Amino acid sequence: MPQVTYDGQSFLIDGRRIWLVSGSIHYPRVPRDLWRDRIRAAKQAGLNCIDTYVFWNLHERSPGKFDFTGEKDLRHFIELIHAEGLYCILRPGPYICSEWDNGGLPAWLARLETVKEGPVRLRQGDQRFLEACARYLGAVMDQVRDHQATAKGGGPIVLMQAENEWFCHNPDQAKAYLRELVRYLRENGAQVPIFECNNLWQRIDGALCAWNGHQNLAGDLRQFRQIQPNAPRLVSEYWPGWFDAWGRPATQIADPAVNELRLAQMLASGAQFNLYMFHGGTNFGFWGGRSVESPACYVTTSYDYGAALAEGGTRGPQYAAVKRICTFASHFAHVFANLDPDHHTPCIATDGDEEHPLSVVSQTGTQGTVVFLFRSPQDKTQAVCCLLPHGQTIEVPLGEELVSWFVVDVNLAGAAQLSYTTLRPWAFVGRKLLVVFGPAGAQGVVSINDAPLRVNVPKGKTPEVHAHEGVTIAVLSTEQVDAAYLTGDGRLIIGASALDAQDKPVALRGWASQTAVDADGNTQRLRATP
């Protein structure tokens, strides 16, 4: 049977290192007929993992009567994730927050009050509450037990979360309640690692710690390494936006460039992340909850959350920014999963919203080195000279982006060695097709097996394609990479708004036709159906 383990660098499946690039999609907030479409949109954005809560009060409306059918078919949702070749992080609670009615706790729990013991004490070691939790977690595990990565044949679930944001320090209740939840999961067949996201307020025996947040990530994650050196760093909730509530102005959506920078910050800190939300969806019926922010803070029907994939499934600038960095992280996962977790050089601190000089953060490991260049919105530097470890100077074009990156001495799946590139690597497909991108009109260098190739970043709609050292190199502009998708048969499609269920390009406004590039460098003109 397969095993999912971890060390200070990454998670491992039977000793093979994996790197999670995850996003949250909640099945109750999306109609069942659209589940696969939303999961495919995540995959096309470069994600390799889907995270979801399990909503207790949705599944057990009456004590002991569980419903996992139709729009509540958790098992089917996980099967669709598996069918797309993605991992899954499952977060069964029992409390989930998520701006959901009562944080997912069933209303009937209040009826457990007795004259002798008084009101039931929720999220504590109250035996009445624990018995209900045990029954619920057992029912959830019955649905998902054989969909764990440890099951025969291997399923998508690689992690499970116990409770959610238990933000208090109470060692007695941690033992009486939180530790019991871990025990219930284990006794009901949970074989993958279990984590908690209490931001170190209260640690749980038998569970690794994760982090939630959206600012000061670089500093927080470096400190996190010192506190938990024997487990990988995981940001279980990175918030690219926020929810809306009735009676207050709509939430200001974060600048896509800032979100891209913060995702890069987490990678540069050696951390895996989960976008909360990748696709927020809709609070159907009366499932929207009330926030603790104020007594009258009721969550709106829309749970758009400023997510990469908007409530109606549309893809805009947020999606494009997420796709740039997440595709890179997934396709170069072997580099990130094998970084030295203790290699943190001093650097200029930046969070993307302060005026500061250009900052360089370098991480290295057994599979190569990755370098991130961060700058503030006030900095207008268009290119910077970087000194490589062996003494060579390269000029890296920055364009208008707040973050750029390049790699050094990276093994391309045994096919070649990517010595360095001054342009941003984006994907490596079929052990032959390397895709890089940069500002339109810039010049760059891609060095394979220590043989440099000078390239020009195209200004129009057509990519530049080269054959070099047995590798096909596709050079794209930022505009082109935002309109680029990778098909299941290893082709690069440029000029599309998405890929449909048959991996055919969907037309994009402003692009009269699409260009397809295969691993051998052959190009073909396509015309998508409007």
In the set 60, 165, 260, 311, the catalytic residue is 165
Cis upstream peptide for 277 (omega within 30°): yes
The yes-or-no answer on residue 99 being catalytic is no
- Per residue, the 3-state secondary structure of 114-149, as one string, reads ECCCECCCCCCCCHHHHHHHHHHHHHHHHHHHHHEC
In the set 60, 196, 237, 311, the catalytic residue is 237
CA distances from 140 to 101, 136, 159, 160, 322 (A): 19, 6, 14, 12, 31
Smallest CA-to-CA distance from 350 within 323, 329, 376, 332 is with: 376
Residue 340, C-beta contacts closer than 8 angstroms, at least 6 positions apart: 9, 363, 364, 365
As to burial, measured by CB atoms within 10 angstroms (0-12 exposed, 13-18 middle, 19+ buried), residue 12 is: middle
At residue 422's C-alpha, the angle toward residues 420 and 425, to 5°, is 75
> Can you tell me the distance from the alpha carbon of 268 to that of 403, in angstroms, rounded to the nearest whole number?
11
> Can you tell me the distance from the alpha carbon of 356 to that of 381, in angstroms, rounded to the nearest whole number?
12
The yes-or-no answer on residue 237 being catalytic is yes
> Can you tell me the distance from the alpha carbon of 401 to that of 317, in angstroms, rounded to the nearest whole number?
13
> Can you tell me the distance from the alpha carbon of 5 to that of 16, in angstroms, rounded to the nearest whole number?
10
User: What is the enclosing helix (H) or strand (E) of 378?
Assistant: none
| H helix runs in 48-97, sequence order | 56-59, 74-83
Structure tokens at 167: 């933000």
> Can you tell me the distance from the alpha carbon of 124 to that of 461, in angstroms, rounded to the nearest whole number?
59
* Active site residue ranges: 165, 237
